[in-house]
Every structure is written in C-alpha cells, then in structure tokens.
Structure 1
Amino acid sequence: MSYLFTHIRVVGALLVREMATRFGSKPGGYIWALLDPAAHIFLLTLVFGAIARSPALGTSFALFFATGYIAFQFYQAMSSYLNSAVRANRALLSYPNVAPIDTVVARFVLQLGTTSLVAFIVLGAIIATMRVETSLHWPLILEAVAMACVFGLGIAMVNCVLFLKYPLYEQVFGIVNRPLFLISGVFFLPDSIPDPYRDLVLINPLVHIIMGFRKGFYPEYRAIGLDMNYLYGIAFLTLFAGMLVFTLSRKTLRNE
C-alpha cells in the first residue's frame, strides 16, 4: 500500500513537471494545443469543401474531418508524446523512488486529458454551430477513444525501449508511421473502397478506431467492415507486448 501511495505521489509530481515543461507558465501553450487541431480541421474543410459538393457522411465537412482527425489524434498524440517519456526524464531516474513506468503514466494522464479537452471544445463548437441536430452515441465514442489510447500506450512502451537500444529503429518507425494519417480513413470512408483493397485497408487497426468513433456521431453510418473484436485483440496484444518489453528492460531504461 505504501508503494502505491509513493507511486501516486511521484506520478503527480511528474505530471506537474510535464505540464510546466510542455505548456509553460503562460496560457499561450494551452491555447496552441487547441489551435493546432482546429487549424488542421479548418484547412481540410476549406480544401475539400472547394472540390466536393458534400462530405462522405452528413452535411458538414468540418464535422466529418473533425471526427476523423480527433480519433486519429487520440492514438498519434498519445504514442508520439509517450515515446520519449523515459528519455526526457532520464535525470530523475537516478532517484530510487522514481521508476521508468512513472514517467509513462504521467505523460499518459496529461495527454489523455489534453486530447479529451481539445476534442470536447472542437467537436462541441462544430456541433453547436451546425444547423442539423446531431445525435451522439457515447458508448461507441468512448470505446473508440479507449482503444486508441490502449493501442497508443502499447506502441509507446515498446518504442521507449527500442528507441534507446536501436537509434536506427527510431528513424525507421518515423518513416513507417508518417503515412498513417493518409491511409487510416481520416479523409475517406473505407466502405467506399472496392475489394480486395478494402480488406487491406481494414488490416490497419486505426481504421477501425476512426470508423467506431464516427459511428458514434453518425447513427446512419453502417461502417461496413468495422470489427471491434479485431480492434480489441490488436490493442490489448500490443499493450501486453509493450508491458512485457518495458518490464524486462527496466535496468536498461535506468542505465542506458
């Protein structure tokens, strides 16, 4: 029990430190966290609104792209921010009460809170300004968010170790991870892709995350190919692999 309280206190202290480091003492840092996704969504809305008559779902380009972008960000922002959790706090690991996992947990809590707040404000603003009433299905939305966070956490825990041990892997991962934004369904609906290419697209678990998230905003969306059992399997298998690699590499994380 005393270990648990120590762990909570350490995570709390790291959380405060991460907030100060990431956002600074001025409100401008928090405002930028909101403006960045809002600017991306606004740009996508302008570009696609100029070349298409209507979005693939509903009548609002802004809502369509926001549901894709925000869902993707729950994975992307989580994994990219947690990747360097141990490396960025290396000096603190010399203290025996600070464990490598504490740095990951602190960043996980901060990123989850940040992305959730941004999603609430951006999507709320879009829905509030829409002329059409929107019916939200919260269980589907929260389920997709949870799986995105679990998957991102698993990937990040693996990368925390491999980035330290194999610098080349970090470069390769960056190259492979970069096009995911384009092929995960942010701009399009996988339903519209003909076979057999649709089956290839559906191998990507992020596609299922975005489909599930969008289904919570569009009751009429059939989401053909959505397989939550597949998503659960991939997400928790990745998390298990991450926890295993992270646990077996505790000495490496402290001393590398």
Structure 2
Amino acid sequence: MTASTERFEGPSRTRSSLSALSWMQAFFSRFAVQVRVVRALMIRDIMAQYGRQNLGFLWLIGEPMALIVGVIILWSLMKGSTTHGVSVVAFTLTGYSMLTLWRHLLTRGGNGLSRHATLLFHQNIRLLDILIAQILMEMISIFLSFLVCYLLLFLFGYVEPANDNLLLVSGWLLMSLFGAGMTLLLSGLTEMSKPLKRLLQPILYFTLPLTGAFAMCAWLPERARDVILVFPMVHAMELFRAGFMGERFTFYYNIWYLFAWGIGTFFLGLLVMKRAERHLHIG
C-alpha cells in the first residue's frame, strides 16, 4: 500500500516542481525584458531632452547642479555662513537637493499619461515602464548632482564629510519611493480629471514648505513640530540631513512611518493608474 502511494505521488510532485520552475523561468525572463525596456526608455528620454549637442547627456547632471549651486550662493549671501548654528552651505545643499527631487517627481506625475500613449504601440512597453524610467532618471540624475556639488564643496572646505552614508542614502531612497508613489497617483488622477492637471502647479508650490527644506524640525516650537511631522516628506528630509550633518544636531524622523507611507502611496498609485488606463485614448 505504501509503495503504490509513493508511485502515485512521485509523478505529481515532479509535475508540480516542473510547473513551479517553468513559472519562475517565465517570470525572470519577463522581468529581464522589462528591465531592458526601462533602460531603453531612460536613454530615449535623455536623448529627447538633451540630444547630442554641446554637453549632451551631461546636462542631466549639470542642470540640477546649476540650480543647487545658485541657491547655495543666494542663501549664503542672505543668511551668512551659519544659521541657528548650522552651516548655511550644508543646510542649503541637503534641503534644495531633496526639494528638487520632490518637485521634479511631482512635475513628472502632472504630465499625465496621454503624452506617452504613442509608445504603447510597441509590444513590450507599458505605461508603468514609461513612468518608472522617468522616476529612475530623476532619482539618479539629481543624486549625482548632489554628489558632484558635495565633492566640490568638500574639496574647497565648505562642508565636512558626510556623517552616516547609510542614513543619507536611506533618506534619499525613501523620499524617492514616496515621490514615485505620488508620481503614479498624480499621473492617474490628472488623466481622469483635466481640471486637476490645471491646478497641479499651485498644489505643488503649496507642498514645498511641507517638505522641511526651509527649516529643521529642531528650530520649530513643539506644537508646530508635531504638525509638520505628519507629512512624510519632512521625515525623509530630516533623515537625509541626519546622515549628512551627524549627531551634533537634533533630528526628528521615523523610518517606519516614512516607509509605510511610501509603500502605501506606491500601491495606491498603481491602482489609480490602472483605473486611469481605461480613460486613455490612443491615436
């Protein structure tokens, strides 16, 4: 009886293992295709924006860097070398780099889905691939701009070495995750509601003070600090600055709160974007 049972279950288990293996092979094969698609879309977007003339793709880094350097110079002239005991150069470098990331990601989301519809004639391209390519491009280009500015300022003695690179990168990635979710969410909402697309720029400017770029939480009264910490962008900003400036200053952030907002917003953005695809007309 036992022997017959083993003979009966053996082929079933084999078929089940082969089925699972085939599924995994198909999944990784499809994933590799989508990675190549996203990479190709990133290159296409770079060439469309910057072309091959003059500095070409180097403007991908140079344009955000020029803005960051300009704001650093302006704030240094207005505030002097320090404010509240914090180096104005370090404060502006960290704040405006994150602010630029937030602004660029939300602007990408406000462009809507219709302008990318013609790319969907290609078999392997989906709307999610297009948006992910744009999000990755903004994440990488602005972070590289920050690194170049940081290295130059460090070499000339305007800033000290970053205190904790893990905190620094974690703050950037978590801000990018939340910003990516907002990009997907706004892309879907602006496709379903044209008036929202017109209101997006005013809404974007209203969110800028809520990023924590213009003041550290330690400078605020306790009641105001409790209010501002409701917004996840502030946690990302404080985390990023904590990694850069170190333990000499007090920072307020909750990594799990920020992570939860990022994951929740990202999945909500996926659902809204999926619904918005029904309103999309190609051709």
TM-score of the superposed pair, with normalisation by structure 1: 0.87
- Measured at CA, do residues 225 and 147 of structure 1 come closer, stay the same or move farther in structure 2, by a change above 3 Å? same
State how far apart, in whole Å, the 2-side matches of 1:237 and 1:172 are. 24
Secondary structure of 2:52's aligned partner: coil
Is 1:113 aligned to residue 129 of structure 2?
Answer: no
Q: CA deviation at 1:29?
A: 4.8
1:101 to 121, 128, 132: 128
Structure 1 partner of 2:260: 233
Letter in 2 for 1:241: L
CA deviations 1:172-216 (Å, max 9, x no partner) are 232121133334222321211113222222222211111111111
Which residue does 2:99 correspond to in 1? 72
Larger displacement relative to structure 2 (214-223 or 134-143): 214-223
Q: Unaligned 5+ residue runs, structure 1? A: none
Aligned equivalents of 1:9 and 1:180: distance in 2? 34
Using a 3 Å threshold, how does the CA distance of structure 1 residues 223 and 88 change in structure 2: closer, same or farther?
farther
Deviation at 1:83, TM superposition (A): 4.1
- Structure 2 Cα separation of the partners of residues 71 and 153 of structure 1: 14
Q: 1:53 Cα deviation (Å)?
A: 4.5
2:43 to 6, 16, 19: 16
Question: What CA RMSD, in Å, does the superposition of the two structures yield over aligned residues?
Answer: 2.6
| Cα pair 2:184 2:270 within 8 Å, conserved | yes
Letter of the 2:208 counterpart: F
Is 1:87 the equivalent of 2:97? no
User: Does residue 172 of structure 2 align to residue 136 of structure 1?
Assistant: no
Residues 137-171 of structure 1: CA deviation (Å, up to 9, x unaligned): 11101111111111111011111111111111122
Supply the AA of the counterpart residue of 1:154: G
- How far is 1:27 from its partner? 4.1
Identify the residue that residue 203 of structure 1 maps to in structure 2.
230
Alpha-carbon distance in 1 for matches of 2:38, 2:71: 37
| Distance (Å, rounded) in 1 between the aligned partners of 2:61 and 2:172 | 18
The verdict on how the C-alpha distance between 1:226 and 1:246 changes in structure 2, with shifts beyond 3 A counting, is same
For 2:112 and 2:191, the matched residues in 1 are separated by 11
Kept in 1: contact 2:109–2:185 (CA 8 A): no
CA distance in 2, matches of 1:235, 1:192: 26
Cα distance change, pair 98–44 in 1 and its aligned pair in 2 (3 A) = closer
Q: Which residue of 2 aligns with 1:63?
A: 90
Give the partner amino acid of 2:234: V
Which protein is bigger by CA-based radius of gyration? 2
The answer as to whether partners of 1:58 and 1:64 remain within 8 angstroms in 2 is no
Distance 1:41 1:108, change over 3 A: closer
Sequence identity of aligned pairs in percent?
Answer: 21
Distance (whole Å) between structure 2 residues aligned to residue 42 and residue 13 of structure 1? 31
Kindly indicate whether the alpha-carbon contact (under 8 Å) linking 1:42 and 1:62 is maintained by their aligned counterparts in 2: no
Distance 1:46 1:97 in 2: 46
Equivalent residue in structure 2 for 1:6, among 19, 22, 33: 33
Q: Distance in 2 between matches of 1:135 and 1:97?
A: 41
Aligned residue type for 2:187: C
Q: 1:162-177 residue pairs with structure 2 within 5 A?
A: 162-177=189-204
Q: Which aligned runs of 4 or more in structure 1 are off by greater than 6 angstroms?
A: none
Counterpart Cα distance in 2 of 1:89 and 1:132? 41
1:212 matched residue in structure 2: 239
Q: Note closer, same or farther for the CA distance 1:22–1:173 as it changes in structure 2 (3 Å cut).
A: same
Structure with greater contact order relative to length (CA < 8 Å, sep ≥ 6): 1
From 41, 50, 55, the counterpart of 1:28: 55
Greater helix content? 2
Once the two structures are overlaid, the 10-residue window that deviates more, 133-142 or 76-85, is 76-85
Offset of residue 230 of structure 1: 1.8
